Chains A and B, each alone.
Chain A
Amino acid sequence: AQSVTQLGSHVSVSEGALVLLRCNYSSSVPPYLFWYVQYPNQGLQLLLKYTSAATLVKGINGFEAEFKKSETSFHLTKPSAHMSDAAEYFCAVSDSNDYKLSFGAGTTVTVRA
């Protein structure tokens, strides 16, 4: 089965600094990868997804992620953090065996003023 591992359960950045959230995947077939964001007391919202069209994927709110097959990674970045980026971020992978979405453990982002 496919899976993702998010490195770092908590990331703290200063406002205006780079946000980098790490996600590595494990898959025996080409993966489809997703980043979701969960704001406090809310459901999950899709930030962006990789569907094999382009390796650099741009999402909402200034986020982007790059698919690197050689490194089995799909790291999420944003050049300049904003206070409103404070949230929980989940990397996820589609499973081609049964079309399930498998989530990583999540990374909590805090933004310091």
Chain B
Amino acid sequence: DTAVSQTPKYLVTQMGNDKSIKCEQNLGHDTMYWYKQDSKKFLKIMFSYNNKELIINETVPNRFSPKSPDKAHLNLHINSLELGDSAVYFCASSRRRDSLTDTQYFGPGTRLTVL
């Protein structure tokens, strides 16, 4: 049973389109994250939610909008896609937001290609 799952695994789309990536965790964790991994494999946090509340919002264009319908789900919606949005997007979760030592569990990633 997959702990953190993401759909779709691959997403190829044209510039200007709007797309969504879904994430679900079945670990009972309170906190979920979105990361972006660029072509050089550098990982950067984008957002974090704790019990459906946004707690981290890095400097990300407002074309990116996370939504958490419940604490087990964190979706990422991207409007007006640009070439520079091409990357691998990872969802992750951890038990609590206020622990420095909690392990983050990562999903398998969604490879987004914008043409």
Interfacial residues, chain A to chain B (CB-CB below 8 A): 32, 34, 36, 38, 41-46, 49, 51, 88, 90, 94, 96, 98-103, 105-106, 108
Question: Interface on chain B toward A: helix, strand, loop, or mixed SS?
Answer: loop
Interchain nearest-CB distance for A45 vs B (Å): 7
Interchain nearest-CB distance for B7 vs A (Å): 14
Residue B1, interface by CB 8 Å: no
Interfacial residues, chain B to chain A (CB-CB below 8 A): 4, 40-45, 48, 56, 90, 92, 97-101, 103-109
Interchain nearest-CB distance for B75 vs A (Å): 17
What A residues does B43 contact at CB under 8 A?
A: 44, 90, 103, 106
Asked whether A43 lies within 8 Å of B41 as measured between CB atoms, the reply is: no
Q: Of B40, B56, B100, B106, which is within 8 A of A94 by CB?
A: B100
A102 to B43, CA, bound (A): 8
